[in-house]
């Protein structure tokens, strides 16, 4: 719906305001459709939860919400810092690589819509099974991530020229680095599932705060020297740090959990 409305806005000459309006209208229509579908598909009487229970639920959700805010700040900090330190032309050139980066991140994120329930199911079984699911997930995704890195190394320049035209090829190296950052994010989010299913949202939040600090610090240091390339390096550094921190936290959690009966050998 967004693509259709945005194309119509472009044809009508509505410019960037029309594109933004298309996004808003499309999201509202999808929201309305989901609400109608739920109301027609599920009929139930739900009593309001007591105030104390609602507050407890809000408190339990707070670390996840805060983590999402931290991640949004980390990923979006490159454009903000570039805007403060560099010219509008540099921001525009880097923005195309950044948007492709966000598109790749969205594709990777859709995988965890499927994977998280599998981790949650195995979390109640045994630590050994959970480790096995983690290993299987990495074997499934890492080859694809490596293939994507190789493809970007070869095709980043032609893709930018084809999609956006002359002049945007300057962002090719930034796009290559951002492609590696996507793979680091994919690996880190795989380990993050361990923290989520083990109810370690507080640990996950602290890791995200540290990762956001690395994102911003490296970008502030490198953008004045290297411009848009410094922004991409900062994103790669932040995502790599986040990945390593999540790997460490998940590893500690798996070692800490007491072995369940399902892990013990069967006695004759």
Average pLDDT over residues 96-112: 91
pLDDT of residue 24 exceeding 80, the answer is yes
Q: Is residue 85 part of a domain?
A: yes
DSSP helix/strand/coil, 266? coil
Q: Are both 102 and 71 inside the same structural domain?
A: yes
Given a cut of 90, whether residue 98 has pLDDT beyond it is yes
pLDDT mean over 36-57: 76
Same domain, 185 and 234: yes
Residue pointed to by tokens 């960037």: 16
State whether 42 and 58 are in the same domain. no
Q: Taking a C-beta distance cutoff of 8 angstroms, is the pair 177, 235 a contact? A: yes
**Do 61 and 34 share a structural domain?**
no
Model pLDDT for residues 242-261, shown as the tens digit of each residue: 999 999 999 988 887 544 44
Q: Which two tokens stand for residue 42?
A: 């599920």
Distance CA 70, CA 212 (A): 6
Closest alpha carbon to 67 in 238, 220, 191, 206 = 206
CB proximity list for 2: less than 8 A, separation 6 or greater: 22, 23, 26, 27
Does 24 lie in the same domain as 132? Answer: no
Structure-block tokens of residue 172: 């090719």
Q: How confident is the model at residue 61 (pLDDT cuts 50, 70, 90)?
A: confident
My answer on whether 18 and 68 are in the same domain is no
Residue 263, domain member (yes or no): no
> Please, which pLDDT band fits residue 262 given cuts at 50, 70 and 90?
very low
Same domain for 123 and 216? yes
Residue 44: which pLDDT band, with cuts at 50, 70 and 90?
low
Identify the sign of the CA torsion 249, 252, 254, 260: negative
Q: What percent of the chain has pLDDT over 90?
A: 58
Domain hosting 12: range is 1-46
* Within-domain flag for 16: yes
- Distance between CA 173 and CA 76 in Å, rounded? 19
Is 233 or 1 the better-scoring residue by pLDDT? Answer: 233
Instruction: Check pLDDT > 90 for residue 267.
Output: no
**C-alpha 131, offset from chain centre:** 22
Residues 74 and 203 in one domain: yes
268 lies in some domain:
no
Tell me the per-residue pLDDT of 125-161, one tens digit each, with 9 for 90 and over: 678 888 888 898 999 999 999 999 999 999 999 999 9
Whole-number pLDDT of residue 16 = 87
Residue 244 belongs to some domain of the structure: yes
Task: Look at the chain and report how many structural domains it folds into.
Answer: 2
For the segment 197-225, the average pLDDT, to the nearest whole number, is 93
In a domain? residue 265: no
- Of 53-62, 239-248, 257-266, highest mean pLDDT: 239-248
Average pLDDT of span 117-132: 80
């Amino acid at each position: 719906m967004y693509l259709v409305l945005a194309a119509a806005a472009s044809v009508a000459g509505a410019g960037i305001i029309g594109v933004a309006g298309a996004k808003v209208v499309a999201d509202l229509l999808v929201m309305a459709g989901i609400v109608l579908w739920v109301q027609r598909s599920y009929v139930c009487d739900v009593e309001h939860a007591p105030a104390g229970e609602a507050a407890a639920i809000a408190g339990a959700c707070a670390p996840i919400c805060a983590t999402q805010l931290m991640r949004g700040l980390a990923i979006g900090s490159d454009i903000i810092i570039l805007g403060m330190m560099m010219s509008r032309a540099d921001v525009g050139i880097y923005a195309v690589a950044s948007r492709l980066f966000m598109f790749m991140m969205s594709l990777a994120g859709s995988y965890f819509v499927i994977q998280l329930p599998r981790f949650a199911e195995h979390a109640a079984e045994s630590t050994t099974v959970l480790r096995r699911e983690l290993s299987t997930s990495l074997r499934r995704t890492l080859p694809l991530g490596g293939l994507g890195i190789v493809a970007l190394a070869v095709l980043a320049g032609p893709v930018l020229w084809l999609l956006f035209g002359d002049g945007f090829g300057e962002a090719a190296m930034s796009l290559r680095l951002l492609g590696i950052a996507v793979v680091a994010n994919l690996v880190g989010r795989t380990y993050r599932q361990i923290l989520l299913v083990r109810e370690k949202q507080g640990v996950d939040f602290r890791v995200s705060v540290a990762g956001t600090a690395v994102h911003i610090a490296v970008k502030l240091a490198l953008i004045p020297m290297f411009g848009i390339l410094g922004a991409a390096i900062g994103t790669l550094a932040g995502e790599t740090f986040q990945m390593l921190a999540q790997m460490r936290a998940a590893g500690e959690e798996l070692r800490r959990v007491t072995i369940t009966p399902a892990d013990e050998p069967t006695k004759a």
